[in-house]
Amino acid sequence: MDKQTEQKRAAGEYAASLIEDGMVVGLGTGSTVKFFIERLAARINQEGLDIVGVTTSRQTSSLAKGWGIKLKSVDEMPGIDITIDGADEVDVALNGIKGGGAALLFEKIVALNSSRNVWIIDESKYHPKLGTFPLPVEVVPYGSHQLLKRFADADLHPQFRRNADGLRLTTDAGNYIIDLQLTEITHPQALAYYLEQTIGVVEHGLFLQVADAVIIGGDDITIIERQA
């Protein structure tokens, strides 16, 4: 196991220790969350925890079901106690870019219905500013080529995300993703507002003031709480 994978494992397993009996738990998407789900399933089996999971993607649903975790949809539950999710990039204010796994829409819905959001990352994801990771924008297929041109005219350097076969990737909600290659996002709030006002955009991967805490895996676990 390489250093980055070991850090992901450490962060995911630590996050599993935060889960208490009777909780409704949001289950994020991605390689780091995989370690969390595996450790949570072990705790459920060993300690008899009564946990209900709310998933953010078909991929996570399949993984959680395979481990025997009881699942409900976000619309079946009055609320979610805590959501554990990964992030593709996190800045010092605990703002993040998410959506590398193409689950940003469902991840944001689950996050906004959660009392507490905790992100688990390896140290390579923690940066002074956002922008190193391409910013995903989920868009409806109809008119998506026009959106691509509009983003290009705004110097946002857009590209359709594609599958290995070269076809445009389709999200769980049936939409496309346009990735913006930005290098550095100087004004994330302004960019978020611009994207939210653009017709055809379903959701964007800027998660601003969403994470309550970030767990960074390493030789020693680092926990950073968002300042009010």
pLDDT, tens only, 6-22? 999 999 999 999 999 99
**pLDDT for res 1:** 74
162 CB contacts (<8 Å, ≥6 apart)?
Answer: 168, 169
- Output the CA torsion sign for 104, 130, 36, 161: positive
Kindly tell me if the per-residue pLDDT of 211 is higher than 80: yes
172, 214: one domain: no
Within a domain: residue 224? no
Within a domain: residue 191? yes
Name the binding residues. 29-32, 85-88, 98-101, 125
What pTM did the predictor assign? Answer: 0.95
As annotated, the active-site residues are 107
Above pLDDT 70, what percent of the chain? Answer: 100
Confidence of residue 212 (pLDDT cuts 50, 70, 90): very high
Strand partners, 180: 135, 158
Alpha carbon of 99 to those of 28, 40, 103, 133, 169: distances in Å? Answer: 11, 23, 5, 10, 12
- Scored b (16 or more CB within 10 A) or e, 201-211 reads bbbbbbbbebb
d(CA 159, CA 138): 12
Name the binding residues for substrate. 29-32, 85-88, 98-101, 125
Kindly tell me if the per-residue pLDDT of 164 is higher than 90: yes
Within a domain: residue 228? no
Phi, psi angle pair for 162, to nearest 5°: -125, 155
How many other CB atoms are found less than 10 A from the CB of residue 26? 28
Tell me if 71 sits within 8 A of 56, measured CB to CB: no
Give all strands of the β-sheet with 52-55 in edge-to-edge order: 52-55, 24-27, 82-85, 117-122, 213-217, 222-225
Average pLDDT over residues 148-166: 97
65, 112: one domain: yes
Domain count, the chain: 2
Within a domain: residue 107? yes
Within a domain: residue 225? no
**pLDDT for res 227:** 82
142, 89: one domain: no
pLDDT, tens only, 168-194? 999 999 999 999 999 999 999 999 999
Structural domain harbouring 13: 3-128+208-219
Above pLDDT 90, what percent of the chain? Answer: 97
User: Which DSSP string corresponds to 106-163?
Assistant: HHHHHHHTBS-EEEEEEGGGB-SSS-SS-EEEEE-STTHHHHHHHHHHTT--EEE-B-
> What's the token pair of residue 217?
């895996």
pLDDT, tens only, 75-101? 999 999 999 999 999 999 999 999 999
Compute the C-alpha angle 173/8/217, nearest 5°. 125
97, 122: one domain: yes
Average pLDDT over residues 160-167: 95
